[in-house]
Structure 1
Amino acid sequence: MDWESLIGLLVVAAAAGWIDAVVGGGGLIQIPALMLAVPAASPAIALGTNKLAAICGTTSAAISYSRRTKLNWRWVAPTAATATVSAGLGAIAALSIPGSYFRPVTMALLLLVLGFVILRPSFGLVTDTEEPDRRRMAIATLLCGVVIGFYDGVFGPGTGTFLIISMVALLATNFVESSAMAKVVNAGTNLGALTVFAVEGQVLWKVGLGMAVCNVIGARLGARTALKRGAGFVRIVLVVVVVGMVLRLASLYIWPQ
């Protein structure tokens, strides 16, 4: 890899860390960048290297959030554990299932998320003072831990965004609280997937560790920005990032990698 490509990856990793810490979706920036920088590598290597950088960024963001906002650990801990296992299973599937199969599904879900957030101006801006009942918490664990966890292992882009929206809808938390909990669950999904990719030799360790440092820097800045600006700012960034992710996925059909 030449120096220009490496520097480009480091810059992308920092930007992805910031975006991912605020609303998720950093993988949709990092994965294509890795594919462009290392065109001879398999998609699994891009996914594995992305996970190495992402787990460092999400863990750093999770620590920053946990120090300054309330986390429902009674729900977060078992969900993160479930997501770790599900993501590992998804990563196993990713070794044989082309990620392109998931692009139309991801685009459809992102469009639904965009429409829902725009049509409901108060969505994610107010926290419900009542504790969610066991049924809603169980559904949230099933969706975030099992379904989204598996998706993150097998493909990944937009995982943080899907986690945040699911938590806002099911747990009635605001965007900042949901971002905080999403980072913990996302760290679990990254761990599960990275373990599988590492065992299979699908990680570029030197490149990934360099990206990890930049991802952490971006993630810490993103978490601080979200905590300082509040739920309204996160909502605006969410809409912008979702639109960008939809356009990016659509571009893959027009200009395939």
Structure 2
Amino acid sequence: MTVSGLELSLATVLLLVLAGFAAGWVDAVVGGGGLVQLPALLLVPGISPVQALATNKLAGILGTSVSAATYYRRVQPDLRTAGPMAGAALAGAGGGAALASLLPEDVFVPIILVALVAVAVYTVARPQVGRATALRWQGRTHLLVALGLGLAIGFYDGLLGPGTGSFLVIALVGVLGYAFLEASAQAKIVNTATNLGALLVFAVQGAPLWRLGLLVGAANVLGAYLGARTAIARGSGFVRVVFLVVVAVLIVRLGADLL
């Protein structure tokens, strides 16, 4: 089968579709779908890392858009936080994507690994965090912190990407004080913006493989819809457990990259 100019076997196509579905589900619940989807794309013969990253963004934005819409209808997250945070994240992601081909990934991996371990320890040590929304700041301070978080995490997503959704969730829970379910809902809106910011830059560079991205994206959409509905039905406790599993997998994956 020829997709986006690449000759793909049926087994490869099925792997990509399955990876897209799984990534959409995980990403909708707590973020981190790129852990599944990006490595699958990198296995495609003849695809470059930048093409894989750009195609992952194309598929990802389809899924995050659907899960964001699903969350919005059922959870109704506070757009006074999510909106400005998404705008800052879009700008940050564009800047990160512009630098993606210039900076070596190994500069960031140790820092990310330490941050993830700290996130896991914090979440396990404070089981009550994220069970209910208890905002730490109000008004201008809340907005400024949200903008800073959006800009920083957006930049990271455009530059590297793995675990962006998880970083957004823990920032919204641990720093701003939202419950896990509300944080997941807001994170999907912001993550849609980071995907868009990076994709716009990659599109100008001609990096996305559009037909392949749309194929994987269709599976991602289905997974995202089911994942969002599952999270909404099960609540913050379920999201917290999935969050810890995803963070643990991220730690193992990045730790293996360093060895």
Fold shared per TM-score above 0.5: yes
137 and 129 in structure 1: CA distance in 2 versus 1, 3 angstrom threshold: closer
RMSD over aligned Cα atoms: 1.4
Corresponding residue for 1:86?
A: 92
Corresponding residue for 1:64?
A: 70
Task: Name stretches of at least 5 consecutive residues in structure 1 with no aligned partner.
Answer: none
Which runs of structure 2 are paired with 1:26-37 in the superposition (5 Å)?
Answer: 26-37=33-44
From 176, 179, 182, the equivalent of 1:177 is 182
From 40, 43, 52, the equivalent of 2:49 is 43
- TM-score, normalised relative to structure 2: 0.93
Sequence identity, in percent?
47
Task: Name stretches of at least 5 consecutive residues in structure 2 with no aligned partner.
Answer: 1-7
* Secondary structure, aligned partner of 2:43: helix
Does the CA contact (< 8 Å) of 1:137 and 1:170 recur in 2? Answer: no
Corresponding residue for 1:243?
A: 248
Deviations 1:66-120 (A, max 9, x none): 0011311112111111111110110000022233332222211111110000000
CA drift of 1:129 comes to: 7.2
- What letter matches 1:237 in structure 2? V
Deviations 1:26-53 (A, max 9, x none): 1121111111123x32211111000000
Mean CA deviation greater in 122-131 or 227-236: 122-131
Tell me how far apart the structure 1 counterparts of residues 206 and 104 of structure 2 sit (CA, whole Å).
Answer: 18
Tell me how far apart the structure 1 counterparts of residues 208 and 193 of structure 2 sit (CA, whole Å).
Answer: 18
Deviations 1:155-194 (A, max 9, x none): 0110011111111123321000000000000000000000
- What letter matches 2:199 in structure 1? L
1:230 and 2:235 aligned: yes
From 161, 169, 186, the equivalent of 2:166 is 161
- TM-score, normalised relative to structure 1: 0.94
- What letter matches 1:20 in structure 2? D
Aligned residues: 252
Corresponding residue for 2:83?
A: 77
Tell me how far apart the structure 2 counterparts of residues 214 and 93 of structure 1 sit (CA, whole Å).
Answer: 29
From 83, 106, 109, the equivalent of 1:103 is 109
* Moved beyond 6 Å, runs of 4+: none
Tell me how far apart the structure 1 counterparts of residues 48 and 70 of structure 2 sit (CA, whole Å).
Answer: 34
